[in-house]
Structure formats: C-alpha cells, structure tokens
Amino acid sequence: MTGTRTDTGTGTEPDTRTAPTVEELEEQQRRLVLPRFTHDDAWALGSLLVELARQRRAPVAVDIHRAGQQLFHAALPGSTPDNDAWIARKRRVVERYGAASYLVGARFRAKGTTFEDSSRLDPDVYAAHGGSFPITVEGAGVIGAVTVSGLPQVEDHRLVVEALERFLAK
C-alpha cells in the first residue's frame, strides 16, 4: 500500500491523509476498555483476529500478552519470523508507554520528530509502529497488549482495533 510504512521497515512514513490523528487514536484507547480479561478472553480475541486476518488473506502473526505471559500466538501463511520480532518491539512500546504503539509514534510525529530520533530507546528493542494495542481493564488499567504484524502499520493498527470493537460488542 502506497504511503504507509510496513513492518519490514521499508516505505515511507504513514500517509497523513489516511492515518488516524492523535485525537482519534486517543479516543480509541478511551473507548476500548474491557470489563475483564481472562485466559479464555485471550483465546476468543486471538481467534477473532485470526478469523479476520484469514478472511482478508492477511499474512500476519498475532500475539496477546498479559502481565508478561504470552496467552495467544498464531502465525498465518505468509508471515515470517521477522513478524515475531516486530511484535516484541511494538509490544514493548505498549508496555513502556501504556499506549498503542501507533499512538506513541503519532505523538512523536505530531511534535515534528520521530520515535527513533527522540525517544532515546534502542530501535532494535522498541518500535513505535502500528499494530500493538493496550489491553485495558476497567479499574485495573493496562494489563497487557494485543499485537498484529505483517501489514503496513496503519493496517495492523486498524485490524487490532476492529477486533477489539467486535470483541467488546459481544
């Protein structure tokens, strides 16, 4: 997709005509709060993400972590070991900042800089690219992250948001 940066690090920065704004991303985080998050919920959310990705023939890997424990992981056809590395880097941004990896990157871009240039964090360990979203539970705050890797970053982000919206609607 032209105008977006893929998880492989090639391409350009997100196309600001189609990318969500910082305000829209912050609104998503305020809205996508779960009443609870159990092991069974991780399976259901992960399975929903896999189903959505399969419908789109998306070559992604999906990961859900809670409190340092991997509760769900799937690698669909076309995904590679690099996707697992991107998942870990994006998840670490969520764990450190308590915000979606795409939102963290967007906040740096809104200041006229980049995460890589200004965060003072090792880009081999942290990636503020779209695709990792905090699992936030009412009354508990951020307890984990759900992450997708394999598509351009805005599409990774949108896939996770869509799955969370559907999961909450059940």
Q: State the sign of the Cα–Cα–Cα–Cα dihedral 103, 107, 112, 114.
A: negative
Is the pLDDT at 3 greater than 60? The verdict is no
Predicted pLDDT at 16? 53
pLDDT of residue 12: 41
Average pLDDT for 111-120: 97
Average pLDDT, the chain: 92
AA letter at 25:
L
pLDDT at 18: 80
Cα distance between residue 57 and residue 79, in whole Å = 11
Cα 17 from chain centroid (whole Å): 20
Q: Rounded to whole angstroms, how far apart are CA atoms 94 and 101?
A: 6
Q: For residues 50 and 3, which has the higher predicted lDDT (pLDDT)? A: 50
Tens digits of residue pLDDT in 129-142: 999 999 999 999 99
pLDDT at 86 over 50: yes
Q: How confident is the model at residue 14 (pLDDT cuts 50, 70, 90)?
A: low
Q: What is the mean pLDDT of residues 149-169?
A: 98
Q: What was the pLDDT predicted at 13?
A: 55
